[in-house]
C-alpha cells in the first residue's frame, strides 16, 4: 500500500481500540524526519482509548505538521483481558492461541484514518537498532520515501 504523505488524512485515534497514545512512552532519542514527516518511536505506550486488550511493545507515530497521519505498532493480545471482556475461559484462549502464557505472539499493525492493516507476525529482534530499522523502513515504504531518515537531535 502506497500513501501520499502530502494528502494522507489525520487519524481519529478513538476509532481504533488498540491505537497507541502518542504522548505515552516517547523515546526522546528516537525522533526522525522522513521527508516532510516526523516519526516518533514509543516504548510500551498505553492504548489511547483506555482499553488494554493489547500490549503494545513499541510503536512509531508519524506526523505531518503536528497531526498524526500514520502509526505502526508491535502488539500482543492480552489473553487475560480478552478472557474477561469476552467471557471466555483463559485456558480456552490459550489453547486457541497455542500458548501457555498470557499474551499472543507479536504482530505488526499499520494504522491509517480508514484501515488497521496487519503486517503479519513480527519475528525480528527487539533491540532498538532492529526496531528502528523495521519502523523507519515500514514508514518510508508506505509513503514511497526514497531519502534516508534523519535523526532529530533533542
Between CA 61 and CA 57 the distance in angstroms is: 13
Helix segments in the chain, DSSP class H: 79-86, 90-96, 128-142
pLDDT category at 121 given cuts 50, 70, 90 is very high
Q: Model confidence over 62-85: pLDDT tens digits?
A: 999 999 999 999 999 999 998 998
User: Among residues of the chain, what percentage have pLDDT more than 90?
Assistant: 86
pLDDT of residue 71: 97
- Tell me which of 32-41, 49-58, 111-120, 132-141 is least confident: 49-58
User: How long a stretch of residues is the chain?
Assistant: 154
The CA distance from 10 to 102, in Å, is 33
Question: What pLDDT was estimated at residue 51?
Answer: 75
d(CA 60, CA 73): 6
Q: Identify the band that residue 42 occupies on the pLDDT scale cut at 50, 70 and 90.
A: very high
Buried b / exposed e across 75-90, counting CB within 10 Å, b at 16+?
bbbbbebbbeeeeeee
Amino acid at each position: 500500500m502506497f500513501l501520499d504523505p502530502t494528502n494522507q488524512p489525520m487519524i481519529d485515534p478513538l476509532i481504533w481500540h488498540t491505537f497507541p497514545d502518542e504522548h505515552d512512552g516517547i523515546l526522546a532519542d528516537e525522533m526522525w524526519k522522513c521527508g516532510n514527516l516526523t516519526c516518533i518511536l514509543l516504548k510500551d505506550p498505553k492504548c489511547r482509548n483506555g482499553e488494554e486488550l493489547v500490549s503494545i511493545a513499541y510503536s512509531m507515530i508519524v506526523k505531518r505538521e503536528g497531526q498524526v497521519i500514520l502509526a505502526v505498532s508491535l502488539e500482543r493480545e492480552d489473553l487475560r483481558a480478552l478472557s474477561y471482556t469476552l467471557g471466555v475461559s483463559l485456558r480456552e484462549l490459550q489453547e486457541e492461541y497455542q500458548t501457555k502464557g498470557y499474551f499472543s505472539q507479536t504482530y505488526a499493525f499499520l494504522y491509517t484514518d480508514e484501515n488497521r492493516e496487519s503486517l503479519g507476525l513480527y519475528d525480528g529482534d527487539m533491540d532498538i537498532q532492529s526496531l528502528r530499522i523495521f519502523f523507519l523502513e515500514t514508514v518510508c515504504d508506505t509513503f514511497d520515501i526514497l531519502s534516508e531518515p534523519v535523526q532529530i537531535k533533542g
